[in-house]
Amino acid sequence: MPKLSIVVPCYNEQEALPLFYPAVEEVVQRVDGLKTEYWLVDDGSADQTLAEMRKLHSIDPERVHYLTFSRNFGKESALYAGLEAATGDYVVVMDADLQDPPSFLPQMYSILQEGEYDCVGTRRTDRKGEAKIKSFLSDQFYKVINRVSQTNIVPGARDFRMMTRQMVDAILSMKEYSRFSKGIFSWVGFRTKYLEYKNVERVAGTTDWSTWKLFKYAMDGIADFSQAPLSLAVWLGTTSFIISIIGLIFVVIRRLIEPTSSAFGWASMVCIILLLGGLQLLCIGIVGKYIGRIYMQVKNRPIYIIKEKK
């Protein structure tokens, strides 16, 4: 009998977890000929999330497993740990807050079983209940990253997706330290079908993703999946070089035609020095970002540290 692993990254989800488990159980128990297991990953929560996981584990120790980190490593690390622990022929990744409707599971499973697709993903068609600025920035992010990166990132795609074992193994083979899942899911390839749904709000708890945190996440994603920012330095350098050559020719010719003309433009000189200084710092900063990533990668630190696994 095929087995489905349900991987759930959890950070401070003490209120959501007790609602999540029965909601998913109700759906998966009705799918004939499918075994399921849960991998609840406690990402160093500060509340009673782990206690809730222990409770669920004691209800069904054979099927409900959990692992807990030594501290908060972030959702990407929790996702990776869950995928590593999962043993199923199919794996689905879900948030604990029921923003990923469990009612999709039977449909996702039957699409994968037909064999044409290796992955069934989901995308939100609206962003109801979200701040305007957040939606705006997120639209811009998808535009920019798809322009500068070879990896296609589907706008509005959520991490909620069901994958075959083959695809999960491909994802696990990517051991990069800085993990941008939206990019990784797409980078490994395979055929993905997207199901669409309207945004659902959290059942309980609050989101940990402030607009600023999302912005930084987006910037990291661009740096992880594109080298376009590095080319910026080349373009800025080339442009200012060409402009300076034109300026030089202009100054020499002016001197030849009008030998009495005096030096001019101290104010504009200062502006130009500041402009070029600024551009140089910007470019060094961009290069620095990439060096920082190399530094973190060569240190080869583990992506997560497990404290307890059951």
Minimum distance between the CB of residue 4 and Mg ion, rounded to whole angstroms? 21
| Residue nearer to Mg ion on the CB measure, 37 or 95 | 95
Closer to ligand UDP at the Cβ: 72 or 280?
72
Interface with Mg ion by CB under 5 A: which range of 17-25, 38-46, 99-107, 252-260?
99-107
Residue 100 site contact among Mg ion, ligand UDP, none (CB < 5 to 8 Å, cut-off depends on kind): none
CB of 33 to Mg ion, least distance (A): 31
> In angstroms, what is the minimal distance from the CB of 16 to ligand UDP?
7
User: Which one of 5-13, 32-40, 88-96, 170-178 is the stretch in contact with Mg ion (CB under 5 A)?
Assistant: 88-96
The full 3-state SS of the chain, as one line of letters, equals CCEEEEEEEECCCCCCHHHHHHHHHHHHCCCCCCEEEEEEEECCCCCCHHHHHHHHHHHCCCCEEEEEECCCCCHHHHHHHHHHHCCCCEEEECCCCCCCCHHHHHHHHHHHHHCCCCEEEEEECCCCCCCHHHHHHHHHHHHHHHHHCCCCCCCCEEEEEEEEHHHHHHHHCCCCCCCCHHHHHHHCCCCEEEEEECCCCCCCCCCCCCHHHHHHHHHHHHHHHCCHHHHHHHHHHHHHHHHHHHHHHHHHHHHHHCCCCCCCCHHHHHHHHHHHHHHHHHHHHHHHHHHHHHHHHHHCCCCCCEEEEC
The CB-of-204 to Mg ion minimum distance in angstroms stands at: 11
Q: Which is nearer to Mg ion, 9 or 44 (CB)?
A: 9
Interatomic CA distance for residues 109 and 163, integer angstroms: 9
43 binds Mg ion (CB under 5 A): no
Specify the residue, 83 or 94, whose C-beta has the smaller distance to Mg ion.
94
CB 176 to ligand UDP: min, Å: 18
Nearer to ligand UDP, 130 or 176 (CB): 130
The backbone region for 98, taken as left when phi is positive above 0, alpha when psi lies in -120 to 50, beta otherwise, is left
Q: Does 15 bind Mg ion (CB under 5 A)?
A: no
Q: Specify the residue, 99 or 240, whose C-beta has the smaller distance to ligand UDP.
A: 99
User: How far apart are the C-alpha atoms of 79 and 281, rounded to whole Å?
Assistant: 36
221 binds, among Mg ion, ligand UDP, none (CB under 5 to 8 A by kind): none
Contacts of 72 (CB under 8 A, 6+ apart): 11, 43, 44, 45
Identified binder of Mg ion from the candidate list 2, 31, 55, 99, rule CB under 5 A: 99
Q: Which does 96 bind (CB under 5 to 8 A by kind): Mg ion, ligand UDP, none?
A: ligand UDP
95 near Mg ion (CB under 5 A): yes
Residues that bind ligand UDP (CB under 6 A): 9-11, 13, 43, 72, 74-75, 78, 95-97, 99, 207-209
10/184 with CB nearer ligand UDP: 10
Q: How far is the CB of 95 from Mg ion (least distance, A)?
A: 4
Which chain residues interact with Mg ion by CB under 5 A?
Answer: 95, 97, 99
